Each structure stands twice: as structure tokens, then as C-alpha cells.
């Protein structure tokens, strides 16, 4: 199936709302109702969901279960993902504690940190291991995703080790772009960029308001 | 100045790299060198930076200081931002501890939490206050940005209170879209969507590899 990048970027959001509907026991929903809930226009929703073969039926709406499963499959959520976490600081702990991932099959199974004081402690029931144990762990366990919650200087080095050890997906919270081969998927979460972007939006909303006055 | 949304989205990244260059004492840089560092094509860089009136000169490159200041002004980073944080859990603590924000003028000045056990404790030197103190605080202090690191059910309610109290920018980590008036800027950080997106990318990189085999 060929789906554009912008539609793909909206799929996790559809998935999240469909999950909510499922939990509420809703079995079908119209594009209008979904539009109201998601703050997206109904025509956008129809256009997006048409990519999956027109699941919606006039006067009947979308079948929540079916759409949820189909989008889940496209996103690769139909099987358990084995995740490791490198960096047991506050951000790492926040991610490890977040139970929503588990429900979607994202299992954080090992945590590594270079701080000897953290090694041996437990985060959400997972024992923190030393960095020396990272590569041996990858070589003996199935690992789908490695999460980097360490400073950027370290992240660049660790990313190289991860790739050499066979990791093919990195969730990167370090404030740098990682230099990895083309067959390695990287998803960056740059929090400081997000904050700068908010600063820009706030400034320009204010300006528009002033222009009108 | 009219700049497209996609260029705006890249500005924080330029700013981050220019900051790095400044710190290293680099005073000018060619689009080629910047391209290598940022993993963006040189022509993309030239195209983007031309929006600011062609600061680059053939054979001379870009003046790092000047570009840094100009982009900073566009992003609204040329003055201190007063930030409050609602939710002193792991994620809130991770954000409060992150010193890079301070360097860019983002000052976290107050933290609120509804958990009586957290109220009165200190996070990065800031005393956690009870939720009852939130609105009175906003009414007596300058607050530019409110950060929400609380569960989505609470976030929806607190966002309404924030807007009513006069907040015009919300950095939202709750897994929901906030229903705010048009003159309120919201920047969402949906970590679970980011993880689903990575899952999709990893799956499809693997597929491409298989097709070739």
C-alpha cells in the first residue's frame, strides 16, 4: 500500500482516538463525530481513511474495531516490540514508567546507565545494568527499538555501538542528529526545538492580535 | 516577514547548530559545512536561509553570530520566557532539570502538583506548590508558557483554567488535543505517537530491504 508521509504522520493520532472509542465501547463512528473529537475536519478524515480502501459507509460510518486493527497493522503494532532504554535519568524513568506503551505492545525490557550509583537499582521493576552489559545484552536478546535518553556527546557514540550490534530502530531524545546507515530507522524527539517552536507560535499569535487592534 | 511553515519548523534546528558553532568559536560557515553537520543538503540550507535576506556571501559563507541572532529574534528567543510547570512527576522533573532551556532564556519559575506528598518538596531548587495556588500565581506573576505534564483527563480541565487565567501558550505533553481559543498557542509533544511512528518506519525499512533481497 502506498500512503503519503503526511497521512502516515496522522495515523498514530487516529489510532489513539480509535483506542479511546474502543475503550468506551463505541463500535462505529461517523467522520463527523470523529472530526469533533479529533479537532480535524470531517473531509480530512474521509480523505485520510479512504487510503485504506473506503472503510466508511454512507449513513453507517466507520467500524471502530476494524479500522483500529487495520491502522495498527500498518503501524506495525500487531506484534510485541522489545525495547531497551539507555539512560536512567529523569526522562528515561518517565518513559519507563509510562504504562500506555505496554498496552500497545511496546515493552521496555532492559535499562542501561553509565552511572555506577544507578546500576543495580530498579526502575519500574527493571534492574538498571551497566553500559558494559549493553552489547552482550543485544547479542543475546531480541531488541526491536533502542531508546536514547543520554546527553548528545554520548548518544553519538552509543548509537554507533547499537548499529554495529544490529539495532535497526532508535528513538532518540538526545539533542543531535544521529549518523546512521539508511537501513536504520531513527525517530528524533527534540524537546528544546519543540519549545522554540512554541515560542515562535506564541509570538506570532500575539502579533496577529495586535494587527487587528 | 512571511516564512512558510516548513521553513519555520526547521528554524529551531538551525538555531541549535548555530549555537553549537558559536560555542566552538566558529565565526563563519559555508552552506556546505553546515550541510555536513546538519545532515541536510547544502541547497536546502541556501534556500532556507535566503528567506532572511541572503545573509550568505559567495566564498565567505554565513556569519554565525548574525544568523544566530536573527533566527533567535524570529523565534522570539531574544527575551526571557517565564515558564510554569504543572505536574511534578518524572517527566516534569526531567523538564525542570534540563538546563539547556535556561541558556536560551526559558526559565521554569514555578511548579504545581496535586499530590500532597509532592507539595513543598523541591525540584531543581523550585518548591512544588499545590494546584490551588496555580491561578493565584498566574494572576500575580508574568507567565509566558504553561507546561502540562499531567494525565490527559486532568490536562483538559487544567488547560481551561489556564486559558481563563490569561495563559496564551501551552506546552502540552498530555496525550490529547486541547480545546483552546484561536489566540492560544499550543505545542503538543505526543510521545506515544512518536513511538508508533518509529514502529512504522522500522517496519517499512525492513520491508524495503526484503524487497531488494
Nearest-angstrom CA–CA distance, B125 and B205: 45
Lowest mean per-residue pLDDT among A87-96, A97-106, B92-101: A97-106
Question: By C-alpha distance, which of A142, A152, A151, A145 is closest to A170?
Answer: A145
Q: What is the pLDDT of residue B101?
A: 76
- Convert the pLDDT of each residue in A47-93 to its tens digit: 888 876 555 566 778 889 988 998 999 999 988 999 999 999 989 99
Instruction: Spell A18-46 as b/e; 16+ CB within 10 A means b.
Output: bbbbeeeeeebbbbebbbeebebeeeebb
Q: pLDDT-based confidence at B48, cuts 50/70/90?
A: confident
B chain contacts of residue A39, beta-carbon cutoff 8 Å: 177, 179
A chain contacts of residue B77, beta-carbon cutoff 8 Å: 196, 199
What would the grid cell of residue B116 be?
Answer: 500532597
Q: What is the pLDDT of residue B141?
A: 97
What value does the mean pLDDT of chain B take?
89
| Owner of C-alpha cell 535519568 | A89
For B199, the closest of A77, A91, A205 (CB atoms) is A77
Distance from CA of B131 to the nearest CA of A (A): 21
Most confident of B21-25, B169-173, B205-209: B169-173
Contact B131, B155 (CB under 8 A): no
Nearest-angstrom CA–CA distance, B6 and B13: 12
A202 pLDDT above the threshold of 60:
yes
Hey, is A179 helix, strand or coil? coil
**Do B183 and A205 lie within an 8 Å CB cutoff?**
yes
State CA B10 to chain mean position distance. 12
Q: What is the pLDDT of residue B36?
A: 87
Q: pLDDT-based confidence at A181, cuts 50/70/90?
A: very high
**Do B168 and A101 lie within an 8 Å CB cutoff?**
no
Q: pLDDT-based confidence at B51, cuts 50/70/90?
A: confident
Q: Spell out the domains of chain A, with CATH numbers in brackets.
A: 5-74 (1.10.10.10), 81-192 (3.40.50.720)
Q: pLDDT-based confidence at A31, cuts 50/70/90?
A: confident
Alpha-carbon dihedral sign for residues A24, A30, A36, A42: positive
Question: By C-alpha distance, which of A78, A70, A59, A60 is closest to A1?
Answer: A70
B30 pLDDT above the threshold of 60:
yes
State CA A126 to chain mean position distance. 21
Q: What is the mean pLDDT of residues A183-198?
A: 94
Q: What is the pLDDT of residue A210?
A: 56
Nearest-angstrom CA–CA distance, B89 and B97: 12
Q: What is the pLDDT of residue A47?
A: 86
Nearest-angstrom CA–CA distance, A184 and A162: 10
What value does the mean pLDDT of chain A take?
89
**Do B81 and A199 lie within an 8 Å CB cutoff?**
yes
β-strand pairing of B122-123 with B28-29: unpaired
Contact B135, B72 (CB under 8 A): no
**Do A101 and B195 lie within an 8 Å CB cutoff?**
yes
B chain contacts of residue A13, beta-carbon cutoff 8 Å: 190, 193
B chain contacts of residue A97, beta-carbon cutoff 8 Å: 89-90
A212 pLDDT above the threshold of 50:
no
Q: How does DSSP assign B143-190, residue by residue?
A: -SEEEE-S-HHHHHHHHHHHHHTT--EEEE-SSS-----TTSEEEE--
A120 pLDDT above the threshold of 80:
yes
**Do B168 and A202 lie within an 8 Å CB cutoff?**
yes
**Do B187 and A209 lie within an 8 Å CB cutoff?**
no
Q: pLDDT-based confidence at B147, cuts 50/70/90?
A: very high
Q: What is the pLDDT of residue B213?
A: 38
Share of chain B above pLDDT 90, in %: 60
Distance from CA of A134 to the nearest CA of B (A): 21
Distance from CA of B120 to the nearest CA of A (A): 19
For A168, the closest of B11, B195, B206 (CB atoms) is B206
Contact A131, A154 (CB under 8 A): no
Find the largest Cα–Cα distance for chain B: 65
Q: pLDDT-based confidence at B171, cuts 50/70/90?
A: very high
**Do B202 and A145 lie within an 8 Å CB cutoff?**
yes
Q: What is the pLDDT of residue B108?
A: 93
Residue of A nearest to B170 (CA): A198
Of B130 and B62, which is predicted with more confidence? B130
| B6: CB partners within 8 A, 6+ apart | none
B chain contacts of residue A198, beta-carbon cutoff 8 Å: 145, 169, 171, 185-187
Distance from CA of B186 to the nearest CA of A (A): 7
Nearest-angstrom CA–CA distance, B177 and A37: 9
Question: ipTM score here?
Answer: 0.90
A127 pLDDT above the threshold of 90:
yes
Q: Distance of CA B33 to CAs A16, A179, B39, B54, Å?
A: 41, 15, 10, 17
Q: What is the pLDDT of residue A204?
A: 87
Residue of A nearest to B169 (CA): A202
Q: What is the pLDDT of residue A129?
A: 98
A156 pLDDT above the threshold of 70:
yes
Residue of A nearest to B175 (CA): A16
Q: What is the mean pLDDT of residues B80-102?
A: 88
B chain contacts of residue A70, beta-carbon cutoff 8 Å: none
Q: What is the mean pLDDT of residues B191-212?
A: 80
pTM for the structure as a whole:
0.89
Q: What is the pLDDT of residue B26?
A: 94
Question: By C-alpha distance, which of A174, A105, A183 is closest to B196?
Answer: A105
**Do B75 and A104 lie within an 8 Å CB cutoff?**
no
Nearest-angstrom CA–CA distance, A107 and A194: 26
Amino acid at each position: 500500500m502506498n500512503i503519503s508521509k503526511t497521512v502516515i504522520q496522522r495515523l498514530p493520532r487516529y489510532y489513539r482516538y480509535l483506542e479511546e472509542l474502543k475503550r468506551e465501547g463505541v463500535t462505529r463512528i461517523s467522520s463527523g463525530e470523529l472530526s469533533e473529537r479529533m479537532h480535524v475536519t470531517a473531509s480530512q478524515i474521509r480523505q485520510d481513511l479512504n487510503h485504506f480502501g473506503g472503510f466508511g459507509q454512507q449513513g453507517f460510518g466507520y467500524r471502530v474495531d476494524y479500522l483500529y486493527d487495520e491502522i495498527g497493522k500498518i503501524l506495525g503494532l500487531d506484534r510485541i516490540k522489545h525495547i531497551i532504554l539507555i539512560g536512567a535519568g529523569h526522562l528515561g524513568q518517565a518513559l519507563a514508567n509510562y504504562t500506555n506503551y505496554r498496552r500497545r505492545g511496546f515493552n521496555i525490557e532492559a535499562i542501561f546507565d553509565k552511572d555506577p550509583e544507578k546500576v543495580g537499582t530498579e526502575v519500574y521493576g527493571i534492574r538498571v545494568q551497566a553500559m558494559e552489559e549493553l552489547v552482550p545484552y543485544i547479542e543475546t536478546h531480541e531488541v526491536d527499538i533502542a531508546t536514547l535518553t543520554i546527553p548528545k556527546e554520548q548518544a553519538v557514540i552509543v548509537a554507533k555501538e547499537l548499529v554495529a550490534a544490529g539495532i535497526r530502530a532508535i528513538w532518540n531524545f538526545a539533542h543531535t542528529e544521529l549518523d546512521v546507515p539508511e537501513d536504520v530507522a531513527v525517530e528524533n524527539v527534540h524537546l528544546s526545538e519543540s519549545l522554540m517552536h512554541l515560542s515562535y507560535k506564541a509570538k506570532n499569535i500575539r502579533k496577529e492580535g495586535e494587527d487587528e487592534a
